[in-house]
């Protein structure tokens, strides 16, 4: 039985392992960085540390998020080449902390989830609903980011 934080992005409920989530902060002004793909929103200052902010809606192909009153940034850790990297993830709204047993997380079906299956650890079954359990390392990896850039460039040629 593990705990997960759930949050909404474009009406879909996602879950991230609570051990990876460091804190949740209000959405604030993000400084844009040139030459970044749409889903790398920019950088923010979190008590003196500069963090990248990732817009998963854009990454999942839904276009950039429009910040609203409930928009927040989930500050999470991701592993990159053996090092922990702190990253902010935009969420339209944070929902709750839930317990999900490992055997209640199933392999995502090959279609129907609206996001690439390899971004997911699986689909978590709660009493009355399903949540998409994110593979944070995969979703937030700059390597993945680089591939996205490469793909975009290839598409333009």
Partner 1 sequence: MADIDLTLDDLEATFAMEAADDIAALEAGLLALEDAPDDAEVRGELLRRAHTLKGNASIVGRQALAAFAHTYEERLEHLDVVDASVIASLLSGVDTFRRLLEGEELAAPAPVNQHIRVRAEKLNRMLDLAGEISIARGRVQQMLSAGALDELIETERQIDQLQAELQELIMRARMVPVGPMFRQYARTVRDTAAIHGKNARLTTIGDDVEIDTSAVELLRDPITHMIRNAIDHGIEPSKERVASGKSPVGHITLAARHEAGTIIIRVSDDGRGLDRAAIGADDTVIFEPGFTTAKEVTDLSGRGVGMDVVRRGIEALRGTISIESNEGVGTTFTIRLPLTLAVIEGFGVAAGGETWIVPMESVVECVELPAGEARDAATGVLLLRGEIVPYLRVRFFMEDRHSCLSPHPTTGKSACPPSNGREHVLVVQHDGARIGLVVDELFGASQAVIKPLGNYFAGVPGIAGSTILGNGHVALILDIATIFRNAGVLAGWAAGVPPAPRRDAAAPAAETAAFHNKECS
Contact between 64 and partner 1 (CB under 8 A)? yes
Q: Which of residues 87-146 bind partner 1 (CB under 8 A)?
A: 87, 142, 145
Beta partners for residue 9, in sequence order? 12
Pick from 3, 31, 70, 147 the residue near partner 1 by CB under 8 A.
31
Q: Which two tokens stand for residue 81?
A: 């080449």
Pick from 1, 11, 34, 128 the residue near partner 1 by CB under 8 A.
34
Pick from 18, 24, 25, 80 the residue near partner 1 by CB under 8 A.
80
- Quick one: 93 or 130, whose CB is closer to partner 1? 93
Least gap, CB of 29 to partner 1 (angstroms)? 6
Least gap, CB of 46 to partner 1 (angstroms)? 10
Least gap, CB of 14 to partner 1 (angstroms)? 21
Contact between 85 and partner 1 (CB under 8 A)? yes
Q: Which two tokens stand for residue 15?
A: 């879950």
SS (H, E, C) the chain: CEEEEEEEECCEEEEEEHHHEEEEEECCCCECCCCCCCCEEEEEEECCEEEEEECHHHHCCCCCCCCCCCCEEEEEEEEECCEEEEEEEEECEEEEEEEECHHHEECCCCCCCCCCHHHEEEEEECCCCEEEEECHHHHHCHHHHHHHHHHHHHHHC
The residue ranges that bind partner 1 (CB under 8 A) are 29-36, 40-45, 47-50, 52, 64-67, 80, 85, 87, 142, 145
């Amino acid at each position: 039985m593990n705990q997960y934080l759930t949050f909404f992005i474009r009406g879909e409920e996602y879950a991230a392992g609570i051990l990876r989530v460091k804190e949740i902060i209000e959405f604030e002004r993000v400084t844009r960085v040139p030459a970044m793909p749409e889903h790398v929103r920019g950088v923010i200052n979190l008590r003196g540390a500069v963090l990248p902010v990732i817009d998963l809606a854009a990454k999942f192909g839904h276009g950039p998020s429009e910040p609203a009153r409930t928009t927040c940034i989930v500050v999470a850790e991701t592993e990159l080449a053996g090092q922990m990297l702190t990253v902010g993830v935009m969420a339209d709204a944070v929902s709750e902390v839930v317990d999900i047993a490992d055997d209640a997380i199933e392999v995502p079906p090959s279609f129907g989830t609206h996001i690439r299956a390899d971004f997911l650890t699986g689909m978590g079954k709660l009493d009355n609903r399903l949540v998409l359990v994110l593979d944070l390392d995969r979703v937030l990896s700059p390597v993945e980011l680089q591939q996205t850039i490469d793909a975009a460039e290839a598409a333009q040629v």
